[in-house]
A and B are shown apart, each in its own frame.
Chain A
């Protein structure tokens, strides 16, 4: 400060000041250039980088779920479609107090603890911010209105429309076509996360499961502009989803209705097949259930009620019910006996009502055997053995068959395996042989086992679908058509590689052998009014006024025991211990158009209880056609 004076010098001050100002102005200019350089660096040099970053910020790709393919019956009747339902969803970010909100919603909308539990699980694993999580899937009109009125005091509550699988036929087609369920945690582990990214439902049973890939369709995408909170502001571009394929099934709703009506209140199953194509025309399991209740989630109470019902409505008897085939097995035993040279059409035996192996005490009884009456059916040849269903004839025939040869022959008819093209839920039944018996029971094969098998008892088991397949195979004189549900689709189905055709059994026996067997099966139905023990077993019940030729075979399966875990009171014990009634049939006998199997659980005799159901079903199918010709 030596240079500075102690008195003010305005002129010098002014000069100094101007110098300072010029210096500072240059400094300011420099600063502005620094700012400009920075801006040019960001906006020109790194423009691409920041442009991309800004686009990534705002542009999101969202999947759009494809609408599921529709399912029709062979006449174009809609069996499965998609309908909008209104869903109550909650958005986490907008909810101050979840428990209080749920309590408040309880007064407006009906839901139970299980719904809340499921909701909370989903709520915790939600993927995106501001994604709504469904609390209740199907809202009633009243609930929608109540929510709309109270909207202002329910922040974070959204009502959204979504397409949900719907089965217009309800319980009628429930077992026949299966159903979808909401995609579960477990499903997500195995599903393709990309193609199912916007899918709510997945086929879990029946046709819905088998053709899942084609019915599902292909996921679409939309590019959306979202703000920093994830809300959609604008849709930029859309790649629409490809709707699932529409499927037309072999099923005939009219026939399904007739078959269901024919069973009435009784537990049982009916399967009808067109033997010319293998097409399954009707697939009934009674009682059924309405699959719609499962689509959007069934209440715990309702599910408990259904699953513990002694009538077992959820159990698909037609494909999963495995029963002893009883006497319906006899035509196959006859064919195999002929094929193996163990019998012929002229050979006769004397039927005294029971059969006994030489040197053994055990008696195998005919169905007609009663205490104090050991009359039997008299002199019996193969034809009579079929139309009178003589057990003694088949005991004797089976006693002379080598079991492995016989089993090999019977398996050609589809016993013991699933021969269908697309009914993957079907269980295989069982065709026992010595190897199986040693493995399963630890016992050797006794001659008595073969004898029991000769009349379809013992360890042999079959499903109603399998027996309908056998009926169709006999109707075709040994020509195999694998049973199938699919009739046609819009385009070839990508996922389905059909199994190779089953080898025909046409040459197992001669052409005349086939005709004589079918004649004998016609006699089961049509032979009548010829005196004591001369009529076919089913004639009194269905044969008197048939306008067409039907070939059939009754069966009565013994109910061996009661399954574990089921307890019934004394009165029901007797009901559930009664025999199962079977009937298999096809018509017209000369040029069959329909083959049917009927099972009535604990129904009693096959001819009396199952045959009338079979006739009603075939009547419903054939009579209108015959009238039209």
Chain B
């Protein structure tokens, strides 16, 4: 069944509005799910911001801008992306190297680049999209499942930027870039046994990782296992976030009624820890609602990946969708105390524009690939 048939079979699929969206290269179901998360996120964010109208307005502007970027990105033909991917990747690498020599240091990490005439930005953010595109580009005209040589090249394409990001240090983004790249490799059809072998190797190597980690990173790992070891320092965030989540119960304390967030016990309640606000104010019901919206995006994205006609399109759509899910999982697992604290925002909900723009630009590409039927 083609995508068009699928849309037509949906309620309202035959309505002129939906057709018009399709003509604009926007996928109605995906758009609906994205808007659902965005609106849900804005409501919670308004509460997390302490009902600060001016900060909230700023976020609305950024989200609208990000949606505009998505719409624009959807208009380009997939061939455009295929053509320009190596250049995008190359520019990204150059900027990552530039960060090492000329980056701006904020809070102990050298992540930012200041170019004349442009707002300050993180090149690593660009790599979240550029890396999966690059690997998909590389695999596009090569036989799949990949041969060992091609696989090694792909791993190098992933590892080089990830290493540059990790030494900034920004381990969180580095891991996400690796995840995005590996998603392509996995989708490329690499045998399960190879992957099982790799997972085993990773498990064996994990203790070795301990020795290359910095002190604050080790602290975060230790804190995961025992938050009470430094309750006012490293453990504070995770103690307060689990307290916020747990105290929400099934139905929550009510929107704007979260005491952990409104009384500033919960740190980063507007940004990385916003799922704790959702859980505290809207309860398990709110968490399930949000997870279902995310699941809709993923299901729709993966479905769209299977509908793509070319390798590049398939791998790109599938990996961007999976990466999106990895963000969701890592963030919620971190805030609820399942993973160490890494700086990963909750997609489309956390305060801030960069993440939303990157993500929605990615979904713009996804929609472009899906709606340009020549592909």
Q: Do A and B bind each other?
A: yes
The chain A residues found within 8 Å of chain B, CB to CB, are 1, 4-9, 13-14, 16-18, 20-21, 24-25, 28-29, 31-32, 34-36, 38-40, 42-44, 46-47, 49-51, 53-55, 57-58, 225-229, 233
With contacts A43-B246, A228-B263 taken as known, whether A35 is within 8 angstroms of B305 at the C-beta atoms is no
Query: Closest chain A residue to B246 by CB distance?
Result: A50
Interface assignment of B314: CB less than 8 Å from any CB of chain A: yes
Given the complex, which residues of B lie within 8 Å of A43, measured CB to CB?
Answer: 245-246, 248-250, 279, 283-284, 287
A17 touches B338 (CB 8 A): no
With contacts A16-B145, A25-B299, A229-B264 taken as known, whether A39 is within 8 angstroms of B187 at the C-beta atoms is no
A13 touches B259 (CB 8 A): no
Give A606 to B213 CA distance when docked, in angstroms. Answer: 96
Pair count A-B, CB < 8 A: 148
21 contacts between A and B (CB under 8 A): A4-B143, A6-B143, A7-B143, A8-B142, A14-B306, A16-B144, A17-B187, A17-B306, A17-B314, A18-B306, A21-B318, A31-B329, A36-B288, A43-B283, A43-B284, A43-B287, A54-B244, A58-B263, A225-B263, A226-B263, A228-B263
Q: Which of B299-346 contact A (CB under 8 A)?
A: 299, 302, 305-306, 311, 314, 318, 322, 325, 329, 332-333, 336-338
Q: Which of B211-256 contact A (CB under 8 A)?
A: 240, 242-250
Given the complex, which residues of A lie within 8 Å of B186, measured CB to CB?
Answer: 20, 24
Interface assignment of B147: CB less than 8 Å from any CB of chain A: yes
With contacts A17-B314, A21-B187, A25-B299 taken as known, whether A57 is within 8 angstroms of B259 at the C-beta atoms is yes
The chain B residues found within 8 Å of chain A, CB to CB, are 141-148, 186-187, 189, 240, 242-250, 259-260, 262-265, 279, 283-284, 287-288, 291, 294-295, 298-299, 302, 305-306, 311, 314, 318, 322, 325, 329, 332-333, 336-338
Query: Closest chain A residue to B141 by CB distance?
Result: A8
Given the complex, which residues of B lie within 8 Å of A57, measured CB to CB?
Answer: 240, 243, 259-260, 263, 265
Task: Name the one of B243, B250, B305, B332 contacting A50, with C-beta atoms under 8 angstroms.
Answer: B243
**Taking the nearest CB of chain B, how far is it from the CB of A532, in angstroms?**
94
**Taking the nearest CB of chain A, how far is it from the CB of B326, in angstroms?**
9
A50 touches B245 (CB 8 A): yes
**Taking the nearest CB of chain B, how far is it from the CB of A41, in angstroms?**
9
**Taking the nearest CB of chain B, how far is it from the CB of A359, in angstroms?**
91
**Taking the nearest CB of chain A, how far is it from the CB of B2, in angstroms?**
14
Give A55 to B245 CA distance when docked, in angstroms. Answer: 13
Given the complex, which residues of A lie within 8 Å of B244, measured CB to CB?
Answer: 50, 54
With A54-B260, A57-B240, A225-B263 known, 5 other A-B pairs at CB within 8 A are A16-B144, A20-B189, A21-B306, A36-B291, A46-B246
A38 touches B263 (CB 8 A): no
Query: Which secondary structure dominates chain A's binding surface?
Result: helix
Given the complex, which residues of A lie within 8 Å of B302, measured CB to CB?
Answer: 21, 24-25
Task: Name the one of B245, B291, B305 contacting A42, with C-beta atoms under 8 angstroms.
Answer: B245
Give A75 to B87 CA distance when docked, in angstroms. Answer: 100
Given the complex, which residues of A lie within 8 Å of B247, measured CB to CB?
Answer: 47, 50-51, 53-55
A17 touches B189 (CB 8 A): yes
With contacts A20-B186, A38-B338 taken as known, whether A8 is within 8 angstroms of B248 at the C-beta atoms is no
B246 touches A51 (CB 8 A): yes
With contacts A39-B279, A43-B284, A57-B260 taken as known, whether A50 is within 8 angstroms of B242 at the C-beta atoms is yes
**Taking the nearest CB of chain B, how far is it from the CB of A230, in angstroms?**
10
Given the complex, which residues of B lie within 8 Å of A32, measured CB to CB?
Answer: 291, 294-295, 329
**Taking the nearest CB of chain B, how far is it from the CB of A140, in angstroms?**
37
Query: Closest chain A residue to B145 by CB distance?
Result: A4
A5 touches B143 (CB 8 A): yes
Given the complex, which residues of A lie within 8 Å of B284, measured CB to CB?
Answer: 39-40, 43-44
**Taking the nearest CB of chain A, how far is it from the CB of B19, in angstroms?**
27
Given the complex, which residues of A lie within 8 Å of B311, measured CB to CB?
Answer: 8, 13
B187 touches A24 (CB 8 A): yes
Query: Closest chain B residue to A6 by CB distance?
Result: B143
Task: Name the one of B143, B246, B298 contacting A28, with C-beta atoms under 8 angstroms.
Answer: B298
Given the complex, which residues of A lie within 8 Å of B264, measured CB to CB?
Answer: 227-229
Which of A1, A34, A46, A226: most chain B Cβ within 10 A?
A1
**Taking the nearest CB of chain A, how far is it from the CB of B194, in angstroms?**
9
Task: Name the one of A4, A21, A42, A51 contacting B147, with C-beta atoms under 8 angstroms.
Answer: A4
B145 touches A1 (CB 8 A): yes
B143 touches A38 (CB 8 A): no
B242 touches A233 (CB 8 A): no
**Taking the nearest CB of chain A, how far is it from the CB of B364, in angstroms?**
21
Give A473 to B333 CA distance when docked, in angstroms. Answer: 88
**Taking the nearest CB of chain A, how far is it from the CB of B299, in angstroms?**
7
Closest 10 CB pairs of A and B: A50-B246, A54-B247, A227-B263, A42-B246, A228-B264, A16-B189, A50-B247, A51-B247, A43-B284, A228-B265
Given the complex, which residues of A lie within 8 Å of B189, measured CB to CB?
Answer: 13, 16-17, 20
Query: Closest chain A residue to B258 by CB distance?
Result: A54
**Taking the nearest CB of chain B, how far is it from the CB of A310, in angstroms?**
59
Give A55 to B260 CA distance when docked, in angstroms. Answer: 9
A1 touches B259 (CB 8 A): no
**Taking the nearest CB of chain A, how far is it from the CB of B202, in angstroms?**
16
B259 touches A225 (CB 8 A): yes
**Taking the nearest CB of chain A, how far is it from the CB of B286, in angstroms?**
10
A17 touches B305 (CB 8 A): yes
Query: Closest chain A residue to B244 by CB distance?
Result: A54
With contacts A20-B186, A44-B250, A228-B265 taken as known, whether A54 is within 8 angstroms of B243 at the C-beta atoms is yes
